Amino acid sequence: MTEVRKAFSRSLYNKSDKTAKNIIREYLIKSEGHSLLNDVENYYADLQTSKEGKDYYHEAEMKYSWRGDWPTHWDEIRIPSRKKRLLEKYSNERLTFYVISGDEKRFWKISSDALRKAPIKEASNRYIDKGETFFHISVSNADLISISTD
């Protein structure tokens, strides 16, 4: 069976990649005490940091349909199953995923362990092609972080 994937959009990438990286970079450095090691595009993790002598990897995505508070009827966070290649690449590493609101006021922080335990299944809405699969992570398995405006 052929895996269904959303086609790569250069314009969406150009719109979201830099913003997402900037938000998570600032959070990691200011709030978590990380030092930036690498954020050069290598088609794997968006950012590589260090803290207390250990390396960490971070993948950030924007969710433009999410503005304001997280809707209470959204009981799960969906991350495209194509990201499983990151779980394979960094199988023994510290890897964290971030899903950032379209208004850039908050984000979900999701551990690679939560992703590994989440079921992969099809999702459907007007923006998703039939057959595309996602990790379905319960919001109870993620941390909702508000972005400081100072």
pLDDT at 49: 94
Q: 17 versus 130: which is more confidently predicted?
A: 17
- Kindly report, residue by residue over 70-105, the tens digit of the pLDDT: 999 999 999 999 899 999 999 878 999 999 999 999
Residue 4 has pLDDT above 80, yes or no: no
Q: Which pLDDT score is estimated for 131?
A: 74
Q: What is the pTM of this model?
A: 0.88
Band (pLDDT 50/70/90 cuts) for residue 129 is: low
Is 10-146 a domain of CATH 3.10.105.10? Answer: no
How does residue 150 score in pLDDT terms, banded at 50, 70 and 90? low
pLDDT tens for residues 6-53?
A: 655 666 666 778 899 999 999 999 999 999 997 677 778 999 999 999
pLDDT in tens, 115-128: 999 999 987 666 66
H, E, C per residue of the chain = CCCECCCCCHHHHHHHHHHHHHHHHHHHHHHHCCEEEECCCCCCCCEEEEECCEEEEEEEEEECCCCCCCCCCCCEEEEEHHHHHHHHHCCCCEEEEEEEECCCCEEEEEEHHHHHHCCEEECCCCCCCCCEEEEEEEHHHCEEEECCCC
For the chain, the structural domain boundaries read 10-146
Position 149 pLDDT exceeds 80: no
